[in-house]
Each structure stands twice: as C-alpha cells, then as structure tokens.
Structure 1
Amino acid sequence: MGVLWNPESWQQRLAELQDDSGELKETPLRRDVRSLGMLLGEVLREQAGDELYEQVEVLRQGTIRRREAEDQGAEAAAAEHAANAMAMVRKLPVDRALLLTRAFGFYFELINLAETNHRKRRRLALQVSSGTGRQRGSLAGTLCAMARVGITADEALEWLRKILVVPVFTAHPTEVARRSVMFKRRRIGELLELLDRIPVAESELARLEEQVLAEITSLWQTDEVRSRRPTVYDEIKMGLDYYDVSIFATLPSLYREISEALNSAYGIKLELHELPKVLAFGSWIGGDRDGNPFVTPDVTRNAIQLAREHLLGFYDDQLQKVIDLLSSSAQQTPVSEALRARLEEYETRIRTAVSEAYGQNFEFELYRRFLICIRMRARRTMQDAGIDTVRLPRPSTLIESQPMLEQVLPGYASAHELAADLELLRDSLATNRGLRIARNLIDPLLLLVKTFGLHLHTLDIRQHAKQHAQALKEAIKDTMAHTLPKPPSPETASIFETFRVIGEVKDGVTPEAIRHYVISGATCVDDVLAVIRLGRLAGVRFEGGEDDPGLMPVPLFESIEDLRNAPEVCRELWKRPDYRALLETWGNTQEIMLGYSDSNKDGGMLTSTWEIFRAHRELHQVAREEGVHLRLFHGRGGTVGRGGGPTHRAIFAQPLDSFEGQLRITEQGEVLNFKYADVVLAERNLELMIAASLDALARPNLRDPEGHFSGALKPEWEEALDTLSTLAYEFYREHILEDSGLLTYFAQSTPMTELEHAKIGSRPSKRKGSFNLDTLRAIPWVFGWTQSRLLVPAWYGVGYAVEQYLAEDSLRERRLATLRTMARECPLFIDLIRNVEMALGKVDMGTARLYSTLVEDTALRQRIYDDFEREFDRSVEAVLAVTGQKALLENNAVLARSIRLRNPYVDPMHLIQVDLLRRKRKGEDTPEVNRAISATISGIAAGLRNTG
C-alpha cells in the first residue's frame, strides 16, 4: 500500500487549509475518511480473515442499494434489498454477528476521529485567515459587535467582569466507550494531526501511517465493551483525565485570546493576570448520590482527595519546570526588595533545619531559591492533606536535604497565599526587565492557581428530596421518643455521614471544595429547609464567611408542574427571615437548578423548552423583587431530547434581562469527550460559552437600529408559544403519559432493558419501585428511542401543535407569518426549531418500523407505530412550513451530508441488534448474546454520535 496521505502537491494541501467557502475545504476530511477506511479494511482482513471482510462488503453494499432505492422512490426494490440484508443477518451465528458489529462500529470510531480532526483543522484555518472575528460565537466577533454599536471599553470590561461560566462534569451514563478505548482514540487523533503538517517528508508520512495502522490494530484487539460495570472511582478518574488531556493546557491560550480580542476591538492591552476570572469548574462525580447507592460518604471524601492530589501533583510538575527554566541571576538583573524579604523569611526557617546548607547551589539565582521554597510549601500542603509525596519526582537540581525543607516550611493555608507568592515573583520580574519571562513562565501558572485554587473543582452533593424527608422524619421521631432511639435506616445513616464528610472537608484547608447541595425533585420550601435541618444536626455550618463560601442548598425543579411553581416557592423561601440571614452570608446570591431531561420526559420537547424559559424569566423577576442575585444551573444533557444542542445558541436564547453573567451548566457523558478530548476543541467550547454569556449579558443587538435577533420577546410571539405549548402538552400527555400501552411498546421495541448489560455507568438506569415513567430515568428513556431511530423526546408533539395552531383558515396566514418571523428573529424559537429539525433529520422511520416488529401485541404495535409515523410526518411538515425550506437540513448541508453518508453503515448494526434482541427474547439469553447486543449499542452510538 502506498502512502495514503502523500499529496500530489503541498501547494494544493495549503490551498485546502486556506479555502473557507468551496468544496476544497472538505477535501482533507474526505482524504482522512478514505484513508482510515482502507487501513481498517487491511486490519479486518489481517485480524479476522477475508470472509469477514467480504461479509462486511456484502452488507454495506446491500444497505447502500436499499437507501438509493428509497431516495428514488422505488419502494419495492428498497424492500427487497432490506429483506435480503435481514435474511443474511438471521443466518449469522452470534460470534460472527459480534465481529460484523465491531467492524462497522470501528469504522465509525475512525470516521468520528476524522470529523473531529476536521473541526480542529477548520478552526486553525480561521485563525490563519484572521476569520475568528467573523465566526459566530467567537470572543473577537462578540466584542467587535459590541464596539460597533457604541458599547464603550469601560462598559465592555464591566460586562466581562460579571461573567463566570462553570462547566460541571457529571458521570451520567451516556459515555459508551471504555477509558482504554478513549486513550487509543486520542492517540489516533494525535497522529492525524501530525499527518496534517505542511510539509512532511514521504518517509515520515509512511512512518506515521504505519503508526495509525498499529493503533487501529490495537483498537481491534481491545474489548470495546466493558466486561464489568465501571465503579464510581473509574468515573472519577475519567473525569480527571480531561484536565490533563486538554483543560490545563487550554486555559492560558484561551485567556490570551480574550486579551487579544479586547485589544483588537477596543485597543485595551491587559496581561493575563489582569483579566477577570471568567471560568471555574465543578463536578458531580463522586457527589451525586441521587439513585446511585455506590456513591457513599467515603467515595465523596476520596473524590475530593483525588481531585486535590491531581491538581497539586500538576502544580508540583509545573513548578519544577519553572525552576529549571528561570535561571535569572541577581548578578545580571536586580530582584525586588519585597521578594528578597519574603525569601529571607523562608531561608531563616530553612537554616534552622539544615545548617545553612540551602542556597549554596544557587548563590545568585534568587528566583530559583524562591521557587524551591514555593514548591516545598506546596508539597507540605499535600502532606498535610494526607497525600503521599514520596512517589513524586525528586529533581536532580535540588539539594539532598529537600525532604527536610518540606517538613520545616508550612503548607499553604489557601490558594490566595500561593497566588501571593507567585504574584510577588511576577512583579519582581516585570519591574526588572523580565516582563517577557513573567508572561511566559509565571502568568500561565498564576492563572491556573486563580482558576483551580487548591481544590481543582467544586464537588456538588446531590440527593433526592424524598430521601431528606425520610431522614428528617426518622431524626425527629427519635428526638421525641421516650425510649432509646432505634438505629437509623441505612439510607438515613448515609445522609448523616455525608453531612459529616461535608463538615470535615469544610473544616479542612479547602472549604470551597464543597459549596452546593443539589436537591433533586424539589417541590416546596420544606425540601430546602430539610437539607439545612439535617446538616445542622450533623454539625455542618451553612453560613458563608471570609474563608468559607458556606453550603448553599440548590433546589432542582424538574417536572412541568414544579417549573411552574418554582417562582412562588422561591419567593416564599426568600421571605423567611432565617433564610434571608443565610442569604446575606452568601452575598445575597441564590443558585437554582432547572432540569431539562426530566421536564422533557414529563412534558415533551416544546412544553419543556417553554416552561424552562418561563421559569427562568419569572425566577429572575422574583429575585429582583426580593433583592436576590440569582444564578441558574442548567441541567442540560448531550442530546436534543435532554436539553442538548449548540451551546452558544442555547445560552443566547435566555430571556432578556434575566441573566446576570454567571451560569453553571452540566457537561454529561459522551459530551465530555466530544468537547474536551483535545486542547483545540476544549478552547473552542469554552470560548463559545464565554462569548455567548457576554452576548446575552451585553445584548449589542438591542443597540443596533438595524439589528434583529435581539432576544426581546414580542407579545404576539409569547402568545404563540403559549398556545403551541398548551397544544403540544395536551397531545403529549394523551399519547405518551396516559397511553397504557406506550411503556410496553417502548420496552419491547427498544434495547432499553439491555442498557444494563452495556455497563455504561455506575448508576442504575431506574429508581427503586415498579417500572413506570416516574421511576424510569431520562437517560434510558432517550437512549432507547435513539437506538431505535425514533428520537421521540426531541420532536413529539411539535407537529400536532403547529398543525392545530394553523388550523383555522382565517388565522392561518397571519399565524404562519408570525412563526416564520420568530424562526428568523426569536432566539428561543430559533433554538427550538433547529434542534427539532436536527432530531427529525436523524429519525429513520424505516428502521423504527423494523424495531416495532419486536412488539409482541400486533394491534398495540400497529397503533402506536402508526401514531408515531403520523406525528413524524406532521412535525416534518411543520418545520418545513416554518423555516420555508423544501427539505430538512437544507440550510445545514454539513449535517445533512453526514447523516446521509452514515446511514448505510449504521443500518447493518440496526439489523443485527434487532435480530439479537429477537433471539434473546425467544430464550437465547446468554452472555455471548448480551455482549453482542452491547457491541451494537456501542456501534450505533458511534454511528449517530449520540447515546442518550
């Protein structure tokens, strides 16, 4: 095989990178896809034999011909091709079905890597062409838009100082891939990036191609499906991986981009350390115990310890790198008196311990001596926290008595102390002809310390309100009893032990590591007060102070009813004198969480979107009236049916005058890998969130006399959304929530029950109790419909609502004109309709019909499938009518082409999955069958780039 990535001309390769409009820019993606496909074919023949390769080709060609026949309207031919493919699949033994599934699944693993590499390539192309200022969602573009409408430099800086975006990593079980597989993905992605360099010698290209081939071979020989369910500790480690993979390296370049964008738009020149802090990070992994019995108090304690160990180990490594590089001598350039004085303080302590041995190695290199002291204090901080520093590398440049220094110098009591030492060092360099050195060596580290402190991220604790109510009931019963109290139930004992862990952490060196207690299923004031009462019984201090932000209960409103009641619940809570006293210690700030997944399951896509918007707006109105600063926590999932979709669009679609600049947002499951698997991707994702927050706060469109898309919600738009929501909700309740056969259809026509065998996450897929829509979690609900290609949560009810809204002939033209205007100018409706369109574009009714054959009751099967088909057709018609398009995704050619090209390769895995499900339900319930089904789940998820 020749060198697949060897170009005919390096000038042509450069032209591909520079092209920003034509087909030429897609050429590198096609080359990567074609080359990776050829390499996979070589691996398949080598590892599994020619027969498997031939079967892959037969299935692939058959499904391609079926799709082509459907596109041409040749239904008979399409049915014949589908039947032939299904007949072939039914003859397969289970082990062969597994191999075929793996082959198609691995193809998508590689195609996804190629598409990810292309995203990075196009971002680089924009940077090379200075096009980032024109890119939607870029910081440069947002700031330039602000300057263009007359927002002054001072105003822009004031807006920026209000921004604080907090991505919160969660272990919601939607990431199918094992950690080992993710490491191999990253390795292949790195090799693809190296193959993109210009120019590269042919011999080097051949070597890189051979490495890609080796990685694909290794991937084939790796179990892609877990043999056991991941533990919470596995999930903690996976979450921490992203800091090493991208986040630590991303932040300095991201803040430099902010600095450059300010300079470009306003001529403001700020150093990294002068920029406001606009990012922090949070996690639920190890703290989210809602429905997860494996998140114990010990797990929470260890999650915090592991995060601190991870961060302080990183600081240790970075400090040593700076020590190695910062060789400035006091004989060549002065050192500030303030730094000399601080160094003298440290050296006085050190001399007592080691008889002035310290300092002889670096007699004039005062910066190095000072940095060694900082590093020893940081190590002592680790030791005080119970972290073993023995296994950390001992730099050869330091004196042998270094371990003694760690014992003599005190640890850092706070991140402010560490930052103060680094700022002292920076100031000395900057005032003594070392500004460039300070920018390069000290500023990035100082930025990371200000961002991550000594704790890395805040760990949220989450538990369901019902659990708190039961625990409080037991506690009160015990205090009223005339006899010795009985031992508490295990659940109640765990709640009290969790609060004791919270108290222990907050009494330690990093009280900011836990500052939020999320209450799932919150419905009333008592749900918030229960947390405070239980915590106080366990000795937890909720009040904030100078060194401790306190512990804030965060009610999570999830159902449609609870979203509607949320504003008045909060008003009642904020009017209580005892709670107001708490609020004052938190700077009169309250965080409220809005649940996207469960509200969607409860009310459908349209109603969930509208009710969250209304709750958001009304909560801010109540907060203003009560003198409370409101911060919202958006519990968004990865898929459209769970609140997913483009980040910038969603943030900008917030209600006007209902955003103060701070937000927290969950990053769940496969979304973490999609957004944070690489430095370039992480930087773009974080930039999108910051730019969208700035855009939503400053609203430059409101000041532009010719501007549209301002975010203002006109009365006729609100009336339209109210009516559409009411119509959709009634239809959804009748056909989903109240249809007695729906849950049977769902369970039998999807692989929902097999999610357990896929061993995706540590948390069970349903809450305790009988199987119903209330106990079924939102993730398996969305997961099942996604695997069967119906994606019901993302669109159901939209078609009916629009049809009924336009039904009256006398109002049709006016109402349709209103919807079309909203689809151009109303950010909320734009976000909604585009997300629905994207989901409808991924729906495949032919495949869904195949899954429906798994339903045993013929009448039930036909009734519900026919209903879905009618509503799908209505929803497509509605989207086309509103957008004025002739076909779905007409204005999103990239996604439309991706879906079209992927479908024939996903089809074989659907055929195999349906056949295996049928076999299992007829009694062939074996480990081999379950493993093969799990492989189809993984492969289909890779093919659709969504799990649930």
Structure 2
Amino acid sequence: MPPLWKPESWADRLAELEARSGDLKEVPLRRDVRSLGMLLGEVLREQAGVELFNKVEELRLAAIRRREAHSEGSAKEAEDLMQAAVLGVNTLGVDQAYRLSRAFAFYFELINLAETNHRKRRRLSLQISEDGQRGDDIQRGSFRGTLRAMRRVGITAEEALAWLRRIRVIPVFTAHPTEIARRSVLLKRRRMGDFLEQLDRIPIPDEELTSLEDALTAEITALWQTDEVRSRRPTVSDEIRMGLDYYDVSIFETLPGLYQEVSAALAAEYDLHIDAAELPLLLSFGSWIGGDRDGNPYVTTEVTREAIRAARSRLLRYYDARLLETIDLLTTSAQQLPVSEELRTRLGSFLADLGTDAAQIFGQRFEFEIYRRYLFCVRSRLLRTAGITPSDHDLLETALVSLPAYCSAQELLEDLGIVRRSLAAHGGIRVAETQIDPLLLLVRTFGLHLHTLDIRQHARQHQKALEEASAWREQQPIAVPSGLSPESRDVLEAFRAIAEVKAGCSPEAIRQYVISGAATVEDILAVVWLARLGGVEVAGNGRDPGIMPVPLFESIEDLRNAPEVCRRLWTSPDYQKLLASWDNTQEVMLGYSDSNKDGGMLASTWEIFRAHRALHEVAHECGVQLRLFHGRGGTVGRGGGPTHRSIYAQPVGAFDGQIRITEQGEVLNWKYSDVVLAERNLELMIAASLDALARPDALDPDGHRSGVMRPAWEAAFDELSETSFHFYRHHILDDPEVLEFFETATPVSELEHARIGSRPSRRKGKMSLANLRAIPWVFGWTQSRLLVPAWFGVGHALGEYAEKPGGAALLREMMEEFPLFIDLIRNVEMALAKADLGIASLYASLVPDAALRERVFAKLKAEFERTLSAVLAVTGQSELLQTNQVLARSIRLRNPYVDPMSLIQVDLLRRKRAGEDTEEVNRAISGTINGISAGLRNTG
C-alpha cells in the first residue's frame, strides 16, 4: 500500500501549496484530515477493538444522516434519527461510553492539528505569493498590506514611521480555566504538528513518507494510552510552567523573524531601509499567572515570588543558550580584522574587576578571537545574574565567576551594543545582524524579567483591608496594623511581596495592579493607600516605574460610569503627581466577559465601545495618555473573535497606539503553539493597531469601513443596545427560572471534575448569577450547544429596529460600512452556526420540572430563531456563514463527531443525577467535556 500522503505528481502538490484561492488550496487540508482519520481508525481497531470502532462509525454516520435530513427540511426524519441515536447511547455501559467519547475527542485532536498545520501552510503560501506583488491583493491583515493601503492614500514614509513609533502591543497571558488539555497532551500535539509540517516538504522519498506516517501512528497510539483528563486540578505552579512554555516553543524564536518582516515591508512599500534592531519596539508581554489573586486562594505571596523567579530563570537560561551559540559562531580573528578600541577597553575593565590579566584568565585560548573572550565575560555576568554556579570542571567559567551581575537590562544592552558597533565598523555588519541583533532585540523586549506580572484583587477585599487597618497613619506608612483578618493580612502581604520584588534588579517586573469590580474613585485610591502601607513606592522614579492602579470596569453600570470616575481621579491634585511620575500615562481595563453576563452581547459590545471613546475624550481633556487593557476571552460570549477585526473596530480617534489584550486559556495554544502561528498572530495585532491608528480608509474617497461614526449609526446602536439590554435583563438575569434551568440543563456543576484550572469556578456562597463567574456561565451554555451569552437579545433588538421605517435599510448599511457592527454580527453568526437546538433540547430534558423546562427552553428557542432570522436579513445571506465557507466547512466537518459526544454526555448526566454519582461516571463526563471543547474549539 502506497503512503497515504504520496501524491500522483509532486508538481500537483506544489500547485496546491502555492494556490491563493479556490478549492485547490483546501485540498491539502482535506488530505490531512482524511489520512489522519485513517490512522486513527487503525489505532482504534488495534487498541480498543473492532467493536468500538464499528460503534464510532455507526454513531458518526447516524449524525451525518440527521444533519442531511435537517438541511433538506425533513424535520420528522431528523427527529427519528435523533431518537434512534439516543436509544443507542442509552444502552452503553459507562466504560464503553467513556471510550467512545475518547475516540470522538481524538478525532478532534487530529482535525485541530490538521487545521493548525493548514494555517501555517497558507501563511507560507501568502508570504511567497506576496513577494514582488504590485497590485492591491496583498492581504490587508498583513503588515505589508496595511503599509500599502497607507501609501495608496498618500501617507508619506516619514508619517508611516511616526505612526509606527506609537505602536506598542502587549499580549497578557492569563490562566483563566479554559484550557482543558494537560501539558503532556500539548507536548504530544506539538510533536504531531512537526510531523505534519515535514510532510509538506517536497519532494519526499517513499521511505521517508512511510517513516513519518509510522511516527504519527505511534504518537496517536501514545496519546490514546495517555490520560487526557487530569487526575488532579492543576496547581498555580503548573499554570506558571505552562504559560512559560510558550516562550520556549515559539515566542523567543518568533520575534527576530517578525521584526525582519516589518523591516522588509517598510523597504518594499516605502523604500525605508531600517535594520530590524533599530526599529521601534512594537511588542512586550505581560502575565497574570501567579499574580491574579481575585477569587483564587491558591495564589499566595510565595506563588507570586515563584512566578517572578521562574520567568526570570526561563529568560536568562535562554539568553545563555543564545550567547553560547554566538560564542561558537563569532570566530572573527583580530589577525584578520581590527577590533574597536571601545571593546578592548571594556574587556580590560572586566579583567580589572577580576584583578588579573587576559593571560591568567584565558591563557592561549581564543588568543586572537577577542570577541569570544569578551562574550565569555558577558556570559559570566549573565550567569551571575541568574544565580547559576559554574560547574567545577569548567575552569574558564570558574575564573570569571567574580564578575558582577547585571543590575539592569540597560547594562546588558550596553555590553552587547559594544560588540555590534565594533563588528559594524570593521566589515562585520552581516555577522552583527545575524548574531548580535536578535539578542539585542530580545533584551530590549524582555529585559531581565521576561514579562510584567500583573497583580489582581477585587475592590471589596481592598475596602475590607482598609477598614481593618484603621491604625494606619500618614506618618507611619510602613507600620502593619495588628488584629487583621486572614483576608486583609493577605492583601497587605501581597504588597509586601511587591515591595520585595521591586527592591531587586528588575523593579519593572511588576508595574500594574488590576482592581476587579472597580466602581468608584475610592476603589482606585485604596490601592495607593494599601501599597504605601505595604512599603511599595507608588510613584515612578528613574529606576522603578512604580505601581499603577488599573481599574477594571466590568458591569454595564460601571462601564457607563467609568469616564466620570476617571475624570474625578485624573483631576485630583495628589493623583496628578502620580500620573506625572508615570509619564502622564494611565491604564484602564475593560471587562468583556462580565459585561456580557451582566447585559448581553449587544449591550456589552456597545457599552465597551462607548466607554472606550469617552475615556479617551476625558483623557485628552486631562492631558493623560490612556492605554486600554481589553479583557477579552477566547469565546464569542467572552469578547473573543478575529483579532484584526476586533482591534480595527475600536472608535476612530480613541486609540493612541498602545494596547494590552488578554490571551486566555486555549487561545494560547491556538496562537502560540508554533513559531509560524505566533508570528502571524503578533503580525496581525501590530498591523491592526497601525491600521486603527493611521486609518487609511478614512483618507480614501472611495474607501469603505473607515470606522468613522455616522450620527444615524450611533443613534441606531444606542437604541439597539438599550432594547437588547432590557430584554436580556428581564428574560435572563431577572428570571430565577433561568438559573435553575442552567444548573440542571448544562454540565456546569461537573466543571470541577474536568480539573481545568487552579481557580475555583465560582466565588464563595450559594450558586447565584452574582457569584457565578463569567467563564463557567459561558462554559455551561457552550457544552449544552446553546451558546446563549453569544446571541440572546440580539435578535429581539434587531427585529424591533428593522420594523421601523428605514430601519432594515440602515442596519444593512451598517453591516456594509461600520466595523463594530460587522464584528458584532459576524461573531453572533459564528455562535449561531455552532449552536444546535436539537441537541440542546436533549440537555433541556435533564430539567426535572417539566413546566419550568418548557417555559425556559421555549423562550430561548424563540429568541434563537429571531436572532437567526435577523442575522440572515442583515447580512443578506440565505444561510449562516455563506460568505465564510472555510469556517462553514470546518463546522460541518466537526458536527457529526460532536453530536455523538453530546448524546453521551446527556446520558451520563442523567445517570449521575439519578444517583449513579461514581468516580467512573465523573471521569466519563470529563471525557465528554474534553471532546466537546475540542470539537467546538471553545471551552469558556
């Protein structure tokens, strides 16, 4: 049998890889999915038996037939097929149900890998096809495409560079519990992804193709034999390691190539020739992992210290590896080319610090390779900084061990800069660009700390601590009051840990303190007072940037009040002194998840937009440089969606170029599991920020979707938001029956058994919408295939507005021209496409109160159908995703595999609630949670 990936012609395979459009570009994806499916079938028959494999096929084909009947309008046949499948599932034993759900989940693992590999493949194809293009078909989301749009409307090279200097994109990694995969599973995914990528290298001999297939089969087998569900909840330490892994996996290697791409794009579009090392710093990184204390009792002060240490250690070890590589390669001899006097002098000062000379340290080693001697000294300082003791057998390292540690990243940059200048001045510019510039770029980006660690705590905890700390006086700023409750003492101990970190070599490692539930000026000032009480210097100085309180406005009411709260804060004389110490910069965070839970998708989208715009207006009035922190989740119901589209949809004139965005849970793996994917994601964010800042479409007489707000659109959105808000509040939050329905018609209570994250899924107290976090709220509705948070209230509002004279036409105009509205509707459309009322009705059957079940489900179904009709009317489509066939095909491909797992999950939930609450049942339910999450590519 020939290898599965062997083509009839390698020339045809090359044409597929180079294809820009049409079905041809999708052929490799279909081949990967089909071939991986065949390998999985082989593994299932071998590992689980033919009987299980046949049952998988039976359920899969039944799901396909049901879907076909439904699309053909045969509702009765679709219902009959559903009931037959339900009966088939109900006869399964718990162990068989578990193994079946695993089999379907494994298929999604492989589909996801194939789709991820296809994204990388299309990225490469795009880069190749863009080379030398002079037309307008370069992708707008690319950096070069954005520059071309700017040049076309007359933005000069100098202006483009000025815009670029204002850009700073800061992804912030968080450990919100939405990544269900174990770390070991993530590592296996990466190995299989590497094998798939190798299969795209052409031509490949049959022997190598067979070897790669065998390697994939072995990895699938190993994955089948691995526990996909954690046996224990991950600790915060586990989450810290998982977050740091992405730096090793992709980010460190991505950045030099990304900046080279920016440099090349500037040269191609504007004839600007700027070395990558001399470009403005466009990216830096942040993290909440180990600093997010809100509702997580496991984030202690020691955990925060561990997070700082682990990040620093990971970074410095990477620097060390790069330095060793450079030392090996930088063999330039002083007998061939001169070395700058600056470098010789600096090397002499190193040796003077040791109280010796070169002969005693190096002997005859590297006698004429002065750069290598110099870099060994730099490396020794770096090892000292990292606290790494040289091994006894390395005499050179031991001889250099007394060199002082680096006390700032600037010192390291200065030492490396000396090497670059010497090489550049003496015929070694190419060597400098390949060996020194990447390291310079990394040190500029990561310093000696890797990323800033945000601390987060809820405003009510601060208030309680202040009330208890009544003994505090202005003249005793460091005195810690006695008699504090454990919670209040924990708040103050957190500030003491911050002070300790800031006393070290990298005070910039902690710069922001995020205040959850911020609603008043007093909530913000409380952090200032508590920080001083804990010994933290709030104001910035030449060495320490200080600690900035970052209010997180989460509810609809808080978003509406945010501009006035900030005006009062920024006009306070005492706070203005702090602002001055932070270069008149203030960060404010907008909460997507909680505002959605509080007011529904449409109101949340519009109120965030309005708050964003108003905050910038107030900031400009007060002379404040505002940086917004967007707390977006991975799913649509938590503010997720395509990156470029969402950044570009920001209000015109209300973006100054700096943006922080949370990267949460499973999103980290989608975006940063590979160098190519990471580069594409980061490029998208930079390009979108430049696009949103320069707004070339607004300068184009024939341009569309410029983002410029028309009064009619604003009035329409105001009305839509208000209508949707009241409808959502009345029918969801103010209806106690919805919460009861949610608890019983979704697996939200089983979330703890999935052991997704370290943080509890709800705050203390009885289940209520107030103490239920946004993540499990979205999680439960997603698992039950309703995805309520992503669409409820949208259909009602659109439908009412469309009935007004001219209303439907205005909505269609907004859909054509207004980026925010387009982003909203497309996200709602995607959620509707993933939802399934037929499956959801099975989950509803779990509700014991029949009358309550019928009332709530009928309400949800009616609004779903209203929203579906409204979205189709506004988009002018006859079916969902008509203009996004790639996503439509992906969902169609996945549904026959998601549906059986949903049936199995409903049956297992029914058994558990009937009294079969055993470890085996809970494990099986966790397996279905894992599989459905992978199938929908959403957890929470």
TM interval, short-chain normalised: over 0.9
Residue identity matched to 1:189: G
Shift of 1:886: 1.1
- Of 147, 151, 158, 1:147 maps to 151
8 Å CA contact retained: 1:478, 1:486 = no
8 Å CA contact retained: 1:600, 1:793 = yes
8 Å CA contact retained: 1:351, 1:357 = no
Matched, 1:106 2:101: no
What SS does the aligned partner of 2:356 have?
helix
Separation in structure 2 between the aligned mates of residue 923 and residue 479 of structure 1, nearest angstrom: 58
Matched, 1:400 2:395: yes
Shift of 1:757: 0.5
Residue identity matched to 1:10: W
Alignment correspondent of 1:792: 788
8 Å CA contact retained: 1:350, 1:356 = no
Alignment correspondent of 1:877: 869
Shift of 1:355: 7.3
Residue identity matched to 2:839: T
Alignment correspondent of 1:518: 514
8 Å CA contact retained: 1:351, 1:358 = no
Alignment correspondent of 2:567: 571
Shift of 1:351: 4.9
8 Å CA contact retained: 1:637, 1:666 = yes
Alignment correspondent of 1:476: 470
Alignment correspondent of 1:886: 878
What SS does the aligned partner of 2:360 have?
coil
TM-score, normalising length from structure 1? 0.97
- Of 314, 325, 344, 1:310 maps to 314
8 Å CA contact retained: 1:359, 1:369 = no
Separation in structure 2 between the aligned mates of residue 624 and residue 343 of structure 1, nearest angstrom: 49
Q: CA offsets, 1:267-316, max 9 Å, x none?
A: 00011111000000000000000000000000001100000000000001
Q: CA offsets, 1:848-901, max 9 Å, x none?
A: 111100011111111111111111111011111111111111101111111112
Alignment correspondent of 2:427: 433
8 Å CA contact retained: 1:506, 1:512 = yes
What SS does the aligned partner of 1:62 have?
helix
Alignment correspondent of 2:893: 901
Alignment correspondent of 2:386: 382
Q: CA offsets, 1:187-222, max 9 Å, x none?
A: 000000001111111101101110000000000000
Change in Cα spacing, 1:623 to 1:485, as seen in structure 2 (3 Å) is closer
Separation in structure 2 between the aligned mates of residue 390 and residue 931 of structure 1, nearest angstrom: 47
Alignment correspondent of 1:78: 78
Shift of 1:665: 0.4
Alignment correspondent of 1:545: 541
Separation in structure 1 between the aligned mates of residue 481 and residue 647 of structure 2, nearest angstrom: 50
Shift of 1:770: 2.1
Matched, 1:90 2:90: yes
What SS does the aligned partner of 2:597 have?
helix
Q: How does 1:90-489 map to 2 (within 5 A)?
A: 90-130=90-130, 134-352=138-356, 356-383=360-387, 388-389=388-389, 400-406=395-401, 408-476=402-470, 487-489=483-485
8 Å CA contact retained: 1:516, 1:553 = yes
Percent identity between matched residues is 66
Q: CA offsets, 1:221-241, max 9 Å, x none?
A: 000000000000000000000
Separation in structure 2 between the aligned mates of residue 11 and residue 844 of structure 1, nearest angstrom: 42
- Of 828, 838, 842, 1:846 maps to 838
Separation in structure 1 between the aligned mates of residue 620 and residue 353 of structure 2, nearest angstrom: 53
Residue identity matched to 1:737: L
Residue identity matched to 2:836: D
Change in Cα spacing, 1:336 to 1:657, as seen in structure 2 (3 Å) is same
Q: How does 1:479-878 map to 2 (within 5 A)?
A: 487-808=483-804, 811=805, 814-878=806-870
8 Å CA contact retained: 1:381, 1:411 = yes
Separation in structure 1 between the aligned mates of residue 302 and residue 731 of structure 2, nearest angstrom: 44
- More displaced, 833-842 or 715-724? 833-842
Structure 1 vs Structure 2 CA RMSD:
1.4
Any unmatched runs of 5+ in structure 2? 475-479
Separation in structure 2 between the aligned mates of residue 485 and residue 841 of structure 1, nearest angstrom: 56
Q: CA offsets, 1:833-860, max 9 Å, x none?
A: 1111111111111111111000111111
8 Å CA contact retained: 1:229, 1:759 = yes
8 Å CA contact retained: 2:5, 2:209 = yes
Alignment correspondent of 2:477: none
Q: CA offsets, 1:12-41, max 9 Å, x none?
A: 100101111121111111110011000001
Separation in structure 1 between the aligned mates of residue 834 and residue 798 of structure 2, nearest angstrom: 21
Shift of 1:673: 0.2
8 Å CA contact retained: 1:354, 1:401 = no
Separation in structure 2 between the aligned mates of residue 373 and residue 540 of structure 1, nearest angstrom: 35
What SS does the aligned partner of 2:583 have?
coil
Matched, 1:19 2:11: no
- More displaced, 799-808 or 444-453? 799-808
What SS does the aligned partner of 2:362 have?
coil
Residue identity matched to 2:627: R
Change in Cα spacing, 1:389 to 1:669, as seen in structure 2 (3 Å) is farther
Separation in structure 2 between the aligned mates of residue 877 and residue 65 of structure 1, nearest angstrom: 25
- More displaced, 57-66 or 511-520? 57-66
Separation in structure 1 between the aligned mates of residue 869 and residue 389 of structure 2, nearest angstrom: 64
What SS does the aligned partner of 1:357 have?
helix
Separation in structure 2 between the aligned mates of residue 629 and residue 933 of structure 1, nearest angstrom: 49
What SS does the aligned partner of 1:886 have?
coil
8 Å CA contact retained: 1:353, 1:404 = no
Shift of 1:344: 1.1
Q: CA offsets, 1:439-475, max 9 Å, x none?
A: 1111111100000000000000000000000001100
Shift of 1:357: 3.1
Shift of 1:88: 1.3
8 Å CA contact retained: 1:350, 1:358 = no
8 Å CA contact retained: 2:170, 2:661 = yes
What SS does the aligned partner of 1:462 have?
strand
Shift of 1:349: 2.7
Q: CA offsets, 1:801-847, max 9 Å, x none?
A: 01111234xx1xx2211111111111111111111111111111111
Change in Cα spacing, 1:486 to 1:506, as seen in structure 2 (3 Å) is closer
What SS does the aligned partner of 1:663 have?
strand
What SS does the aligned partner of 2:231 have?
coil
Residue identity matched to 2:380: M
Separation in structure 2 between the aligned mates of residue 215 and residue 797 of structure 1, nearest angstrom: 45
Residue identity matched to 1:464: H
Q: CA offsets, 1:493-544, max 9 Å, x none?
A: 1111110110011111000000000000000000011111111111110111
Separation in structure 2 between the aligned mates of residue 504 and residue 537 of structure 1, nearest angstrom: 14
Residue identity matched to 1:32: D
Separation in structure 2 between the aligned mates of residue 26 and residue 550 of structure 1, nearest angstrom: 51
- More displaced, 555-564 or 350-359? 350-359
